[in-house]
A and B are shown apart, each in its own frame.
Chain A
Amino acid sequence: MQLPNFMMIISSSPGLSLLLWVFISMILLYMARRPAHEAILSVTKILFHGFRLFASSILIAEKKLKHRNKEVLLSSGKEATERIIEREFERIDAFVKKDLAHFPTLQREITDSVIKLDEDYQKSTEVPPAPPGWTKAIEPIAAIPPSEDSMVAEILKSIKEALDKGQEKALTSYRKSSEQRHSYLKNMVPMLRHINKSVDGLDKNVQTLLDRSATVDRHMDEYAEITKKTDKAAQMLSSSSMTQFFIAGFVLAIAIGGAFINFNLISRPMQEMVGGSVYMMGFKVADIAALVIILVEISMGLFLMESLRITRLFPVIGALDDKVRIRMIIVSFVFLFLLASVEAGLAYMRELLSADDAALVAGLLGGATVEGVDSSGRWITTAAQMGMGFILPFALTFIAIPLESFIHSSRTVIGVAVAAFLRFFAVSLRFLGNLSRYSGKTLVNIYDLFIFGPLWIEGLVRGTQQAKPLVKIQGIPVEEEKLPSPKRKPTRKSTAKKVEDSETELEEIKE
């Protein structure tokens, strides 16, 4: 090992020079021990407090962000619940108007039916036929014993015939009245069925109403929780928001896949319209044009959904007058329809170009390309491409729904992610703070290790002179007499320092 020239104390022996340098540095370091210790400890303390301060400010920012997240979450949750409750009430209103509006009529019908039933029932009561009055009168005559007298026999025969006739007449009348009673009872059956059906319908309607009212109650409870700004409500909304975020993201990814297929369908035929070798910013103009068409379709879809009040991305559209809104629906639908028709046309042109390319390649490569598909079946692919070209723009319209969910939920999700990041950052800073603090103590110990020789001699000297006992303060041996006297009243500064130290210790314990 070669030492630099200026370090060569003894020019002939670098080893001895090095040893001398070590000795000199040990002496110097021993002499500068106390200020060096203080410097090391103060620097690490500054670092410790700096990191802690930074961590505290980040934690405050995190707390504010959390509060803001909660506010955003609760406000969006409140809005969403209001929407749901509003919709439920609209449904109940529509239901009441539709199904329960004719309740008085139904009630009247049932009352009429009951009255009629009562009447019929009354009519159907069996009335015993009144015995004819003259039968009692002829009873004594009928009791006369039959005799040979032809006159009497004739009279009795006549009486019997009259009696039989009367009985027959009474029986006929009775049968007729019974038949009528039965007809009344028969007529009661459909009426009873009608009443039963009406009552059943009413019961069903009431049950539906009860179910709806239970749903409203549940939503009202949620709404009350949100209004109270409870943690439970915030947690519930947060998890719901996360779910929404991932579901909406998944659906959006599918929609992007659809848009990509759509793009491939129209980018090639677009070259026929705008040229295949024209570039803009490194991209083919044909590709840009195809992309613009798809984006315009998506925009039209958004406007359509917004005008239909299915989504609420643009409050201005939602707040428009109904007349203007309906016009907007018509206009955006017409645009969408026209663009879909254009796409279908482009898809047809793509098929023509593909056929031309295939024919050209086959011709150039001398029939190397085998005709794999029967040309008679080409109409299937043509029709499929045209169909896709026409349907996809309408399908892309529905992007608006997951997009709205994604945008709303992403506010919460991003907020939560940033808060988590801030938390992690603050914890890391606190860790660094503690690390710098303990590294100060370690450095002090390493310092003492390097000057172990002088320290050992000092110990020996102190031992012989019955050295004053050493007290360790923060790992540094200090002579007891140099410490402030216990009788001395502690100054304000030292008390503050102690408080600070105890606070630091407490914080460490907490950590």
Chain B
Amino acid sequence: MKTIILSLILIFGFSACTTGPHKAHNKGVYMLVDTSGTYTKELKKAQQIINYTLSQLESGDSFVVASIDTGSFSEKDIIAKITFDDRPSKANQQKRAFQQKIEAYIKSVKSSPYTDITGGLLQATEYLNERDTRTKTVMIFSDLKQELKKGYKRDIPLSLDGYDVVALNVTKLRSDNIDPQEYMDRLELWKGRVESGGGKWDVINDLERLDKLIQE
């Protein structure tokens, strides 16, 4: 009994000694899913990635899935969001509910005429900054072709310090086949934007390589 009391005193003593700001240990993942044009056909793959991500996240981690449509800088575009419970059993239940919600969404999704990727990225950074997670990962499931509706301003510099931005399933468009430079320029453009904002850029087109998806 004495030992238990002593151990507790030691632990609390040590914790009292540790000063400084609160250090987060959880992960934050924000996934943007392109729902524009014919890209909706790729949503089954997005579901696979979401399921894989769910299997990798643990108690205390946050996960958001949002759509990229005409105006993505909005909370309304968030399809599902969750911060997993401290208890693993409860977290598993939440994962099952999340999966069902995504499944229902994919069945009923309607394609949008425009693609506002920048708006989605801004929304993601805003959300993850608020969550104050240890790692911040933004996954963009899109062909990276941004098409803005007239009047939408998106030439805003991105602030992505400490972020991992991963482009997933960047499909080649018909025009890319004619001129592959277009595809490379598109990738280069987004890489430049992310890296100039202080973020880390990565592209994963092979879904077998998903083990590198979430930063530890």
Contact = CB atoms under 8 A, between A and B. Distances in A.
A280 interface: yes
A365 interface: yes
Interface of A is mostly: helix
Interface in B30-89: 48, 51-52, 54-55, 58-61, 84, 86-89
B2 to A, nearest CB: 8
A275 interface: yes
Interface stretch (B10-18, B113-121, B139-147): B10-18
A320 B11 CA distance: 31
A282 B23 contact: yes
A277 B7 contact: no
A340 to B, nearest CB: 16
Interface of B is mostly: helix
Given A272-B87, A281-B15, A365 B25 contact: no
Interface string B144-161: 000000000000000000
A145 B86 CA distance: 137
A276 B60 contact: yes
A324 to B, nearest CB: 15
B135 interface: no
Interface stretch (B92-100, B173-181, B185-193, B195-203): B92-100
A277 B54 CA distance: 16
Contacts, number: 75
B91 interface: yes
Interface residues of A, number: 27
A280 B18 CA distance: 9
A366 interface: yes
Nearest to A364: B51
A474 B135 CA distance: 73
B125 interface: no
A275 B59 contact: yes
Contact of A277 (B18, B25, B48): B25
A356 B58 contact: no
A279 B26 CA distance: 10
A365 B55 contact: yes
A420 interface: no
Interface stretch (A25-33, A65-73, A215-223, A291-299): A291-299
A316 to B, nearest CB: 12
B51 A365 contact: yes
Contacts of B86: 271, 275-278
Given A275-B87, A276-B60, A281-B14, A357 B92 contact: yes
Contacts of A365: 51-52, 55
A360 B26 contact: no
A271 B87 contact: yes
B3 interface: yes
A356 B11 contact: no
Contacts of A335: 1
Contacts of A278: 86
Interface in A380-423: none
A361 interface: yes
Contacts of B87: 271-272, 275-276
A279 B54 contact: no
B88 A268 contact: yes
A279 B86 CA distance: 11
A269 to B, nearest CB: 9
A335 B4 CA distance: 11
Contacts of A299: 3
Contacts of A356: 88-89, 92
Contacts of A282: 23, 25
A364 B55 contact: yes
Contacts of A206: none
A363 interface: yes
A330 interface: no
B60 A363 contact: no
A278 B61 CA distance: 12
A276 B11 contact: no
A236 interface: no
A292 B4 contact: yes
A288 B11 contact: yes
Contact of A295 (B3, B15, B54, B60): B3
B55 A353 contact: no
14 contacts: A275-B86, A275-B87, A276-B58, A276-B59, A276-B88, A277-B60, A279-B23, A280-B15, A282-B25, A292-B8, A295-B7, A357-B92, A360-B95, A360-B96
User: Which 3 A-B pairs rank lowest in CB-CB distance, beginning with the nearest?
Assistant: A277-B60, A275-B86, A276-B59
Interface of B: 1, 3-4, 7-8, 11, 14-15, 18, 23, 25-26, 48, 51-52, 54-55, 58-61, 84, 86-89, 91-92, 95-96, 99
Interface of A: 268, 271-272, 275-282, 288, 292, 295-296, 299-300, 335, 353, 356-357, 360-361, 363-366
